[in-house]
Chain A
Amino acid sequence: MEMIPTRNAYGEALLALGEKNPNVVVLEADISKSTRTCYFAKRFPDRFFNAGVAEQNEMAVAAGFAACGKIPFVSTYAVFATMRACEQVRTFICYPRLNVKIGVSHGGLTAGNDGVTHQGTEDIGIMSTLPNMTVIMPADAVATKKLVKAAAKYDGPVYLRFTRNPVPVIYKKDVHLEIGKSFTIRQGSDVTIIALGDMVSKALEASCILAEEGISAQVIDMHTVKPIDKEAIVRAAHETKAIVTVEDHNILNGLGSRVAEVVAEEITVPFKRVGIKNTFGESGEYEKLLEKYGLGTKHIVEAAKSLL
């Protein structure tokens, strides 16, 4: 299976947007080689602005661009965009509902060896709590290109989270993805696994293992955490006997929490969350970190079986 970091696909998607729409500008905070905004920088130097290691200013400048009709994409790592520049995002982008897109790399444990300072594992919770914000994490390179394009068309703030590490390409090129509409990748009748970002491919692996044991698992890619696809969750609860959520994020306030809210308010169903258990990560190889912090395929399988 082809493996591509979604940050690479983001860089390519920006390039394509730049060709099509002269209003797209890109802001960077000295890590363009890593976030892959360097592709855009090379082709469109007049529309690329490097703010240096100063994310708060980067974010506020973007608000100014948006207020004057531009479509700024702001890039840095998840942890810096959402925590170093959190108030700039809240008060100057979300509150006035300005058309700023925040595209970040190093989502979750994909930051790997860099360790805790560079692993954004609380970012989705922080962004989801902000009014007017849309929160997205694509599962692979194909989904990244589709959803970045959709975000550019959407009028309002969007947070897009990408992986540093390569993740399997699971979608065909002609797949149709919409903001706010989840995508059911695999049908099943016993249990539904609702997954986010890099965990979607792990959920698919888990569904294969479960199938060998005679358990039919449905897999939903909930690429948009906010607004969450409530209908799909309710439907899944009706169609299968249990729901498991999986995310490369703190188990608090991420995908699992959002789904839990729907489950609690709309439909009672056996439910379990797989995520980082309210702790920080550490340096290490991405795959090994997933195993250590309870995000491996076997953890998803165990969670599903425990509910049936």
Chain B
Amino acid sequence: AYQLRCEIIKMIYRARSGHPGGSLSIAEIMTVLYFHVLRLDPKNPNWLERDRFILSKGHACPAWYACLAMRGFFDMEVLNHLRKIDSPLQGHPDMRKTRGVDMTTGSLGHGLSIGAGMAQASKLDNKDYYVFVLLGDGEVNEGIVWEAAMYAKKYEIDNLIAILDYNRLQLDGCTDVVMPLEPLVAKWESFGWNVLEIDGHNVRQILDAIQEIKNHKGEPSIIIAHTVKGKGVSFMENDPDWHGKPPDDDQYQQAMKELKERAYGNDSHS
């Protein structure tokens, strides 16, 4: 996860734009999905039996692109071209431009609806792939998220697994101030979902939660993952100003120093 964080910061620094905070908060979740959970084949990105992944909080795509490159969907060198003209790596994910990207996202709130359709297609075709949707906390302000919540419950879409990156910060500030979400667990439960609450930086807990959900039939499930926005870079943590700006030269050096120590030094966390 800390190697992933190094790549994220490098990409955003080189692109001179992007969203570090929400990319860093999902590093463990993305690592678990891409290196332990998802059934996929980097040599055959359109494999029909693959698990689908949708990054509903599309602005955190540096984390996704880095995972895809590290898994061999494309060359690591491509990561140098984030947000540049003619690059396959768009500012927000584009399924027609990037190998391994299953769905275009970026306009918030849509992943769950799209994931519901994909998961239903899986069932109609008698296939056994799962659809994972990673949501941000800010985007559940969108009404369509709750339309999707009702829909997935109605059709008992139990091969749809949502993970909510609950870092408690959105662009303008704290989620409790911008648009209070609490009681969030009770909200999802009242919509008929199976809800699990975990520490989103704890790899064991992420793995266990996904396994538990795979054994839970007849209901859609969501993992409320408590995370820290900007996790891993001391001056970015819990600061909404790092939602959508790149580090300058000094900040970049400092961030990389901190992340490399965790990634390649004395690391026991991931």
Q: Is the A/B pair a real complex?
A: yes
**Which 8 interchain pairs have the tightest Cβ spacing?**
A64-B117, A60-B113, A68-B121, A57-B147, A61-B117, A64-B114, A54-B147, A64-B118
B151 and A63 contact, CB distance less than 8 A: no
Closest chain B residue, CB of each to CB of A62:
B117
Alpha-carbon distance between A63 and B106 when the two chains are bound, in angstroms: 15
A contact residues vs B (CB 8 Å cutoff): 25, 46-47, 49, 51-52, 54, 56-57, 60-70, 72, 87-88, 91-92, 95-97
Cβ-neighbour of B120 out of A65, A87, A95 (below 8 A): A65
A60 and B110 contact, CB distance less than 8 A: yes
Cβ-neighbour of A92 out of B104, B120, B124, B150 (below 8 A): B104
A96 and B117 contact, CB distance less than 8 A: no
Cβ-neighbour of A91 out of B48, B102, B104, B131 (below 8 A): B104
B120 and A49 contact, CB distance less than 8 A: yes
- Chain A residues positioned under 8 Å from B115 (CB to CB): 64
18 CB contacts below 8 A, A to B, read A49-B155, A54-B147, A54-B150, A56-B113, A60-B144, A64-B116, A65-B118, A67-B121, A68-B117, A68-B125, A69-B48, A69-B125, A70-B124, A91-B104, A91-B106, A92-B107, A95-B104, A96-B94
Cβ-neighbour of A57 out of B118, B122, B148 (below 8 A): B148
Q: How far is the CB of B73 from chain A (nearest CB, A)?
A: 17
Closest chain B residue, CB of each to CB of A55:
B147
Closest chain B residue, CB of each to CB of A97:
B96
- The A-contacting residues of B in range 118-161, CB under 8 angstroms, are 118-122, 124-125, 131, 143-144, 147-148, 150-151, 154-155
Q: Which DSSP category, helix, strand, loop or mixed, fits chain A's interface?
A: helix
- Chain B residues positioned under 8 Å from A63 (CB to CB): 103, 113-114, 117
Cβ-neighbour of A68 out of B110, B118, B155 (below 8 A): B118
B151 and A56 contact, CB distance less than 8 A: no
Alpha-carbon distance between A57 and B147 when the two chains are bound, in angstroms: 6
Q: A61-B113, A92-B104 are in contact. Are A46 and B121 (CB under 8 A)?
A: no
- Chain A residues positioned under 8 Å from B104 (CB to CB): 91-92, 95-96
Q: A51-B147, A54-B147, A96-B96 are in contact. Are A60 and B124 (CB under 8 A)?
A: no
Alpha-carbon distance between A114 and B151 when the two chains are bound, in angstroms: 28
Alpha-carbon distance between A69 and B131 when the two chains are bound, in angstroms: 15
Question: Most chain-A Cβ atoms within 10 A of its Cβ — which of B52, B95, B131, B147?
Answer: B147
Closest chain B residue, CB of each to CB of A54:
B147
A67 and B114 contact, CB distance less than 8 A: yes
Closest chain A residue, CB of each to CB of B127:
A68
Q: How far is the CB of B55 from chain A (nearest CB, A)?
A: 14
Closest chain B residue, CB of each to CB of A69:
B121
Alpha-carbon distance between A185 and B106 when the two chains are bound, in angstroms: 46
Alpha-carbon distance between A171 and B51 when the two chains are bound, in angstroms: 47
Closest chain B residue, CB of each to CB of A95:
B104
Q: How far is the CB of B108 from chain A (nearest CB, A)?
A: 11
Alpha-carbon distance between A25 and B121 when the two chains are bound, in angstroms: 9
B150 and A52 contact, CB distance less than 8 A: yes
A65 and B151 contact, CB distance less than 8 A: no
- Chain B residues positioned under 8 Å from A49 (CB to CB): 120, 155
A96 and B124 contact, CB distance less than 8 A: no
Closest chain A residue, CB of each to CB of B117:
A64
- Chain A residues positioned under 8 Å from B122 (CB to CB): 68
Cβ-neighbour of B124 out of A47, A87, A88 (below 8 A): A47
Cβ-neighbour of A70 out of B121, B143, B144, B150 (below 8 A): B121
- Chain A residues positioned under 8 Å from B107 (CB to CB): 87, 91-92
Alpha-carbon distance between A97 and B104 when the two chains are bound, in angstroms: 10
- Chain B residues positioned under 8 Å from A52 (CB to CB): 147, 150-151, 154
